[in-house]
Amino acid sequence: MKKILSILQVVALMSFALFQSANAADAIHTSFFSNKAVSGYDVVAYFTEQKPVQGNSKYQLEYKGADWYFSSQENLALFKGDPEKYAPQYGGYCAWAIAGNETAPGNPPFWTVYNDKLYLNYDQSVQDTWAADKDKFIKQADLNWAKLDKE
């Protein structure tokens, strides 16, 4: 068991190093075991239904190296028409973590649409902290994300 954990830790560190050297504007968070953006959730539904909705493999497309899933053909068409409007900020990484110059996965149930942009957070506690001062955290995260883009 310890050996498996050690291997997973090495893989996680390698993934982090790859992310750090990648062009941040092109980085979309996916898991090590799947290429699904936002864990397969329909990002358009956050705007149209105001809730997380699991996507369906019948309605998918590749964008920025990740597979995006949608709950309907209509949502797929909306995303195709303006992917930057619907894609989560910071490539789907946790907005609060990026504000702290760190990376953590965004978790689809912990989301906010704010100023017509989708933000994901790691868990409820992090989301509560982030929501208490969104404007400050967004300003810092935008700066940190832009710095990653130049590395």
Whether residue 96 is found in the same domain as residue 127: yes
Interaxial angle between packed helices 124-132 and 134-150, expressed in degrees from 0 to 180 and rounded to the nearest 10: 100
At residue 22, what is the residue type? Answer: A
The tens digit of pLDDT for each residue in 98-146 reads: 999 999 999 999 999 999 999 999 999 999 999 999 999 999 999 999 9
Please tell me the distance from the alpha carbon of residue 77 to that of residue 57, in angstroms, as a whole number.
15
If one compares 21 and 56, the residue with the highest pLDDT of the two is: 56
Element (H, E) at 51: none
pTM exceeding the 0.75 threshold for the entire prediction: yes
Whether residue 105 is found in the same domain as residue 130: yes
Q: Which domain holds residue 106?
A: 88-151
Q: What CA dihedral angle connects 56, 59, 63 and 65, to 10 degrees?
A: 50
Which residues touch 135 (CB under 8 Å, ≥6 apart)?
A: none
Whether residue 110 is found in the same domain as residue 140: yes
Whether residue 81 is found in the same domain as residue 48: yes
Whether residue 41 is found in the same domain as residue 79: yes
Task: Kindly state the greatest CA–CA separation across the chain.
Answer: 47
Whether 25 is covered by a domain: the verdict is no
3-state secondary structure of 135: helix
- Number of domains observed in the structure of the chain: 2
